[in-house]
Structure 1
Amino acid sequence: MHIAVFSQYHTNPDCPATSRHYSLLAHLARTHRITLITTRTWERQRLTQQFPWLPEGVEMRAAEVPYENRMGVARRGLAFGQYAAYAVQEGLRIDKPDVIWGISTPLTAAWAAARVARWRKVPWVFEVQDLWPSFPIAMGAIPNRWAQRRLFALEKSLYRSAQHIMALSPDMTRYVETVLGAPSAEAPLALPSKVTTVLNGTDLDLATSATDVALEALRREQGLEGRRIVLYAGTLGRANDIPTLLAAAELLATQVPNLTWLFLGLGFDEPRVREAAARCSAIRLVLPQPRHAVFSWFRLAEVSVVSFLGMSVLDTNSPAKFYDSLAVGTPVIVTNNGWTRDLVETYGCGWYSPPSDAAALSALLAKLLAAPAQLEAAGKAGREVAISAFDREQMAVSVQKILEQAC
């Protein structure tokens, strides 16, 4: 079977980003022909050279379209449009695929996949990684009401035209089902067969690199012997509520001796983190790490924090850092009042703290850091959940089945 994959951002484990699709493509390429239509955005950002850029058996068509988190709205829109135009062009040039797999974000990548699928008369599968346009609208990036209505109409039409939809969290699945509404002549399939939750997941094989030896070496290299470590790892973006974390870190530093709160990543709020680190010795900014190395940083921490602003659209998120932390037995504090809160409370592998409440987060962390046995028990529970439910090898089997059935 020939699968054409429309994904604007391809990464591999040498990159400072989740490599979800690298793992999925590696599995699919064992039995199917794969053509990946992407950009070279991340290829120049590789921090190491330990992995091939493409999994064996994957053919790539890549556009030169720059993109970074600090871009403004207009520049981002241009990048999205440039990739969509390139993807349509290449999608019509490649050998006819049996199925097309369109991955958003952004929504324009899925639009390109749908357009080529229609013209080439083949089915397509829509993977929803974030809720677009709900997310950029909630963040104020698209204030024009006419543009909002047009984007919501496009979103619904893409859901209806897809043969199947994969959503990265249960809350995303419920959202998509709500948008789809009742079956129609255009979308006659019953909802349970139209939408499937396929979690973001984690790479358990890479997590095994976080050994005791690697952990101690990292602690020595970073001068963290005897320190109590809290970790935020990921994009320092507008949606991640970084100012609240910095305020909580400064409060916590007055309560917990030998505290170091690591902020691992780059993004819009990087200057704010640097300023906080300059005035508070308990705060440290760590430059992004390659995917294969990040697990040792998670294991180094006693607890990690996965934070977002208090918006319902963000409660649906399926962030890689959530899974990665649990994979190495580090419990998680979440500020999403959605499915991640339900999961950590159900399985006892983490805690919920209200979004944008630095005092509450600081108080919770102080309480937990004074109870190491509780942290250890939660970490063990998280590791068990990760092994049973978050393995990307399991996700790959589900994705392959969906793509094959779409044909």
Structure 2
Amino acid sequence: MHIAVFSQYHTNPDCPATSRHYSLLAHLAKAHRVTLITTRTWEAQRLTRQYPWLPEGVEMRAAEVPYENKMGVARRVLSFGQYAAYAVREGLRLEQPDVIWGISTPLTAAWAAAQVARRRRIPWVFEVQDLWPSFPIAMGAVPTRWARNRLFALEKSLYQSASHILPLSPDMTRYVEEQGIASRKITTVLNGTDLDLAALATPEAVATLRAEYGLTGKQIVLYAGTFGRANDIPTLVAAAEQLVLRQPDVVWLFMGLGFHEPLVRAAAARCAGIRLIAPQPRHAVFAWFKLADISVVSFLDLPVLDANSPAKFYDSLSVGTPVVVTNRGWTKELVEQQSCGWYAPAGNAAILRELLAEVLSQPEKLAQAGQKGQLVAIAQFDRLQIATTIQEILETVTLKT
């Protein structure tokens, strides 16, 4: 079977990114022919050279389309449009695929997949990574009612035309169902994590980091991810400054890049208990999560963000580090039901500070929460299991046509 994959952003474990599809494509390519239509956005951002850029057996067609988190709305729209045009053109030139897997975000990537599927009369599967256009609209990136209505109409048409839909969280699945899509056409496939890479976070690797960065005897709070507009970074910085001033044995690590990097850098310059850590390759990030006593997964208080499926949530639990979440959606339910983390409301630095101070004073409670989270990760978050599910869906929709 020939699978064409439309994904604007391809990464591998040498990149400071989740690399979800690297694992999934590697699994699919063992049984099927896979052609990836993508861009070279991340290729120059590799931090190491330990992994091939493509999994064995995957063919690639890649456009030179720039993109970065700091881009404004106009430049992002241009990037999305350039990739969509390239993807449609290349998708029509490919040797006939049997099925297309279209991965949003952005929504334009899924649109390109749908266009090629329609014109080549083949089924396509729609992976919903974030709720578009709800997310950019909530962030104020779509100012006119006309544009918003057009995007919502496009979204619904894509749900209807797809043979199957793969949302990345239970809350996304509920949202898609609320658009009138039958549940039999939807399968939740969590973002998940790479348990083989999590196993690299050995006690020796953690001890090396602790010594190298002068963290011996310190309790560690970690935020690892994008410093984006949606991540509520100003609240984290405020909480961090309050916490480390009151508890000098605590160090808060901010690892990543993004829009709010200057804010984090300034806080680290004036406060010794705050450290800015450069982005790490995928295969190395797990040791940092293992080093931490607790990690924070934060977003703005917007209903659309409650549905998201952040990689850092899975990565932290996979190495036995409990999490504090600020979403009110399914991640809050999971950490409370499984006793593997805590909830603090978004935008409230004082409550977050007090919660962290309380749980950091109870090492046994932290350890118990971490152990429970790791069991959940092994049972539910393994990307190899997720890849098997996706492969079965792609094969099934192909057989039905």
The TM-score by the shorter chain falls in which range? over 0.9
**CA displacement, residues 77-114 of structure 1 (integer Å, 9 cap, x when unaligned):** 00000000000000000101000000000000000000
Answer yes or no: is 1:398 the counterpart of 2:389: yes
Query: Which residue of structure 2 aligns with residue 244 of structure 1?
Result: 235
C-alpha distance in structure 2 between counterparts of 1:192 and 1:132, whole Å: 19
2:248–2:273: 8 Å Cα contact kept in structure 1?
Answer: no
Match of 1:322 among 313, 316, 341: 313
Answer yes or no: is 1:298 the counterpart of 2:300: no
Query: Which residue of structure 1 aligns with residue 201 of structure 2?
Result: 210
Q: Cα offset for 1:256?
A: 1.7
C-alpha distance in structure 1 between counterparts of 2:202 and 2:148, whole Å: 48
Please give the TM-score of this superposition, normalised by the length of structure 1: 0.97
C-alpha distance in structure 1 between counterparts of 2:189 and 2:294, whole Å: 26
Q: Give, as a single letter, the amino acid of the residue that structure 2 aligns with 1:311.
A: L
C-alpha distance in structure 1 between counterparts of 2:12 and 2:245, whole Å: 40
2:5–2:100: 8 Å Cα contact kept in structure 1?
Answer: yes
**CA displacement, residues 49-78 of structure 1 (integer Å, 9 cap, x when unaligned):** 000100000000000001000000000000
1:163–1:194: 8 Å Cα contact kept in structure 2?
Answer: yes
In structure 2, the gaps of 5 or more residues are none
Q: Cα offset for 1:127?
A: 0.1
C-alpha distance in structure 1 between counterparts of 2:267 and 2:255, whole Å: 14
Query: Which residue of structure 1 aligns with residue 32 of structure 2?
Result: 32
Query: Which residue of structure 1 aligns with residue 328 of structure 2?
Result: 337
Q: Cα offset for 1:254?
A: 2.6
Q: Cα offset for 1:257?
A: 2.5
C-alpha distance in structure 2 between counterparts of 1:266 and 1:57, whole Å: 32
Query: Which residue of structure 2 aligns with residue 69 of structure 1?
Result: 69
C-alpha distance in structure 2 between counterparts of 1:180 and 1:230, whole Å: 42
Query: Which residue of structure 1 aligns with residue 277 of structure 2?
Result: 286
C-alpha distance in structure 2 between counterparts of 1:207 and 1:241, whole Å: 27
**Deviating more after overlay: 250-259 vs 383-392:** 250-259
Query: Which residue of structure 1 aligns with residue 358 of structure 2?
Result: 367
C-alpha distance in structure 2 between counterparts of 1:179 and 1:148, whole Å: 16
Query: Which residue of structure 1 aligns with residue 80 of structure 2?
Result: 80
Match of 1:265 among 256, 269, 274: 256
**Structure 2 matches for 1:2-401, cutoff 5 A?**
2-181=2-181, 191-401=182-392
1:14–1:48: 8 Å Cα contact kept in structure 2?
Answer: yes
C-alpha distance in structure 1 between counterparts of 2:46 and 2:178, whole Å: 39
Q: Cα offset for 1:258?
A: 1.5
Cα RMSD for the two superposed structures: 0.6
C-alpha distance in structure 1 between counterparts of 2:143 and 2:394, whole Å: 36
Q: Give, as a single letter, the amino acid of the residue that structure 1 aligns with 2:230.
A: A
Q: Give, as a single letter, the amino acid of the residue that structure 2 aligns with 1:95.
A: E
1:255–1:366: 8 Å Cα contact kept in structure 2?
Answer: no
Q: Cα offset for 1:253?
A: 1.3
C-alpha distance in structure 1 between counterparts of 2:266 and 2:241, whole Å: 12
Q: Cα offset for 1:24?
A: 0.3
Q: Give, as a single letter, the amino acid of the residue that structure 1 aligns with 2:125.
A: V
**Deviating more after overlay: 53-62 vs 252-261:** 252-261
C-alpha distance in structure 1 between counterparts of 2:364 and 2:247, whole Å: 17
Please give the TM-score of this superposition, normalised by the length of structure 2: 0.99
Q: Give, as a single letter, the amino acid of the residue that structure 1 aligns with 2:207.
A: E
Which consecutive aligned stretches of 4+ in structure 1 deviate over 6 angstroms post-superposition? none
> Any idea what SS the aligned residue of 1:246 has?
helix
